[in-house]
Amino acid sequence: MAAVDLTTHPGHLARRLQQAHYLLWNTMVSEEITSPQFAVLNALVAEPGLDQRTVGERVGLDRSTIAEVISRLGRRGLLDKVRDPQDGRRSLLRPTDDGLRTHRKLAVRTARMNQVFLAPLSAAEQAQFFDLIRRVSDAAEGLRNPAEPLVPQG
């Protein structure tokens, strides 16, 4: 006995939500390009020439994961990766023509999928949905570095 009701556990709900999304993405958007891959491509369409670490920051992927995702996108010929002549540690990334085409195509399908995914909610509820999830995520993210002791701001 003493077992817990997981339907009131946000972590469990988050996992289920992501699984549901994965399913829909696979059937409605693409079986080749994943959602994180699209996010990276999208960041590079917005800001071509970013380095790997910054792209990871933009889309919320750590250094190891972003390296893998970028390697896959590179293998598929969707982005170019060149060493920064100014700073030999960095690789500068930008989408290829094929990458731009793929991004445009998937952006349309993604919008359609989002509509289906959110269809059970009214417009007001969808706004609530975004707001609540964002607030919880941001707050937890903020707990990462519990206020730097040195040079707090400026």
Residues forming contacts to its own copies in the complex (CB under 8 A) are: 1-4, 6-21, 23-25, 35-36, 39, 42-43, 45-46, 59-60, 103-104, 107, 110-111, 114, 116-121, 125, 128-130, 132-141, 143-144
Binding partner of residue 65 among its own copies, DNA, none, CB under 5 to 8 Å per kind? DNA
Name the residue nearer to its own copies (CB basis): 18 or 71: 18
Shortest approach of its own copies to residue 52 CB, angstroms?
18
Identify the residue among 37, 41, 110, 113 touching DNA (CB under 7 A). Answer: 37
| Ramachandran quadrant class, 39 (left: phi over 0; alpha: psi -120 to 50; beta: rest) | alpha
Site for DNA in 95-154 (CB under 7 A): none
Binding partner of residue 4 among its own copies, DNA, none, CB under 5 to 8 Å per kind? its own copies
Name the residue nearer to DNA (CB basis): 1 or 148: 148
Count CA atoms closer than 13 A to 45's CA, side-chain side: 17
**DSSP-based three-state secondary structure for 92:** strand
Q: What DSSP character marks residue 51?
A: E
Using CB under 7 A as the binding rule, whether residue 82 contacts DNA is answered as no
Q: How far is it, in rounded angstroms, from Cα 68 to Cα 2? A: 41
Tokens of 127: 């706004």
**DSSP-based three-state secondary structure for 42:** helix
**DSSP-based three-state secondary structure for 50:** strand
Residues forming a β-bridge with 91? 83
Name the residue nearer to its own copies (CB basis): 83 or 98: 98
Q: What DSSP character marks residue 6?
A: G
Residues that bind DNA (CB under 7 A): 15, 19, 22-23, 26, 34, 36-37, 51-53, 60-65, 67-70, 72, 86-91
